[in-house]
Amino acid sequence: MAPSTRYALVAAALAQAATAAGVIEMPITYRNSYAMVSVEAGTPAEEHFLRFDTGSASTWIVDKKCAQGACNNYSGFPRVGYNLDGSSTGEQISNSSSIGYLGGKIAGPGVRDAFRTGDATWNQTFLNADESSWAQLPGDGFLGLAFDTISVGATHTVPETLLSEGALAQPRFGLYLGTEFNDTNGQPGRGALTFGGSREDTYVDGEMTWLPVMKDVAAREYQLWRAPLLKFSGSHQGADGQPAGRSRSWEGQTKSTGVFDTGAGTISVPTWDAYLMYQSIGWDFEAIMTGQHIPLCSEFNSTWSVTFSFAGPDPDAPAGSPDKYRDIVLTGDQLARPGFAHREDACYPPFEHGNDDGFFLFGAPLLRLFYTVYDFGGSKPEEYKPQVGFGQLKKEFKPPGI
Ligand SMILES: *C1O[C@H](CO)[C@@H](O)[C@H](O)[C@H]1NC(C)=O
Ligand SMILES: *[C@@H]1O[C@H](CO)[C@@H](O)[C@H](O)[C@H]1NC(C)=O
Ligand SMILES: *[C@@H]1O[C@H](CO)[C@@H](O)[C@H](O)[C@H]1NC(C)=O
Ligand SMILES: *[C@@H]1O[C@H](CO)[C@@H](O)[C@H](O)[C@H]1NC(C)=O
Ligand SMILES: *[C@@H]1O[C@H](CO)[C@@H](O)[C@H](O)[C@H]1NC(C)=O
């Protein structure tokens, strides 16, 4: 598609959005494969690029010193620090807190200041990071989209802040990750993050598949966009040309769950399950892990597929009942990510392993194949009945090669 057509499509989608009250559209910019949105913070306002992350809650922005060299920056992009003293509307709300991620750590005091994007302005709480080990981050911080229950430093997430102020038309956000996953060359790309509504009409072909979001078992509260996973199955064409496959069901045994995390760059699974998953698609896991086999992109084709069966509306129904499962199906060709082992003809293995038993993490390689909707199901925490929705992308919105 010609670039001009792409921008026309985005402009059309955004123009439609601007007419709806309580709906905030944020176009997505990729820098070096990091998906980010921009906000203006403070008075006078300065623009900050933030990596949005459904796997963490508190928003943070590096402070001036951190941006100017106190924190490592190997990203190839300059950073803009948020300066509390330089903003006439900013105030400190808490002493220093820290957040540990799978890939880094940050710390800083909590602050409150004006956030602005498009026509919307609101008071937002976030950490003003004076420490950050995210040296490769080609932006100024994170915009957390997990639940407020795991926010730190007296901060609240962007969607739950807007929700509590009655600023959202609907208690949800929608996400289209676009098509230019490496870089949008300094401009917003086709992707969009929408607060207060979702854009199935624009992006989705057919019905949405909705998965129930569950409370964290230990804390008995909603923390992450996490759904109960009941079964995995994979299939491929056997050597004899006949269909072959394997599956594992967790029903009545250890419970498994899947977390949907825009901040994760892979689909990662428990090691125990990885063996079976690779077997199910006819691949030699051992040979890939030991480096004896470099997967070629030509091996990512539609002769194999994997199905993750999450809990449907009636998960205890007998096998065969249409309400028992809600399936997310991925075909081999959809999972090809070139560039493995610094080779253009090689692709990253489809699944990483090493997770704790029962823990599946679904990152961008899965989320970018769908339009996804994160629905709180209520406007106050005590009314939440969250669910996460998946819609097949219309042809014109699909990533290239899929
Ligand atoms: C961060 O890296 C970019 C690109 O190398 C550079 O322009 C910028 O000055 C760096 N910032 C600092 C504080 O080193
Ligand atoms: C920071 O900690 C000090 C000492 O415990 C306390 O007096 C102060 O109120 C705290 N500041 C904020 C903004 O929480
Ligand atoms: C933000 O907070 C300030 C100070 O409390 C208040 O004056 C202002 O009206 C608030 N702005 C919005 C958009 O709520
Ligand atoms: C499809 O991928 C499988 C490996 O998963 C490979 O054995 C097969 O040759 C591929 N088929 C085509 C037509 O490339
Ligand atoms: C994205 O980057 C990877 C790794 O450098 C490269 O292999 C791939 O071809 C790039 N994709 C596009 C569409 O430029």
Q: State pLDDT tens for residues 276-298.
A: 999 999 999 999 999 999 999 99
If asked whether residues 170 and 257 sit together in one domain, one would say: no
If asked whether residues 354 and 298 sit together in one domain, one would say: yes
If asked whether residues 208 and 230 sit together in one domain, one would say: yes
What pLDDT is recorded for position 83?
96
Contact 310, 213 (CB under 8 A): no
Tokens 């992707």 label which residue? 191
If asked whether residues 185 and 213 sit together in one domain, one would say: no
If asked whether residues 296 and 161 sit together in one domain, one would say: no
What pLDDT is recorded for position 17?
45
Tell me the residue length of the chain.
402
Protein residue closest via CA to atom 3 of ligand 2: 95
Protein residue closest via CA to atom 4 of ligand 3: 89
Is 338 close to ligand 5, i.e. is its CB under 6 Å away?
A: yes
If asked whether residues 42 and 170 sit together in one domain, one would say: yes
Determine, yes or no, domain membership for 331: yes
Is 78 close to ligand 1, i.e. is its CB under 6 Å away?
A: yes
Residues 109-142 have pLDDT tens digits of: 999 999 999 989 999 999 999 999 999 999 999 9
The CATH number of the domain holding residue 141 is: 2.40.70.10
Q: What average pLDDT does the chain have?
A: 93
If asked whether residues 40 and 8 sit together in one domain, one would say: yes
Determine, yes or no, domain membership for 53: yes
pLDDT-based confidence at 21, cuts 50/70/90?
Answer: confident
Q: Which residues have any ligand 4 atom within 6 Å of their CB?
A: 282, 298-299, 301, 303-304
Q: Which of 171, 198, 225 is the endpoint of a domain?
A: 198
Total domains, the chain: 2
Determine, yes or no, domain membership for 402: no
Determine, yes or no, domain membership for 297: yes
- pLDDT mean over 86-93: 98
Closest atom of ligand 4 relative to the 300 alpha carbon = 2
If asked whether residues 136 and 261 sit together in one domain, one would say: no
Write out the residue range of the structural domain in which residue 104 sits. 3-198
Determine, yes or no, domain membership for 55: yes
Residues 53-86 have pLDDT tens digits of: 999 999 999 999 999 999 999 999 999 999 999 9
If asked whether residues 343 and 243 sit together in one domain, one would say: yes
Q: Which of 198, 232, 263 is the endpoint of a domain?
A: 198
What pLDDT is recorded for position 7?
47
Q: Which of 176, 198, 220 is the endpoint of a domain?
A: 198
pTM of structure: 0.93
If asked whether residues 193 and 209 sit together in one domain, one would say: no
What pLDDT is recorded for position 20?
62
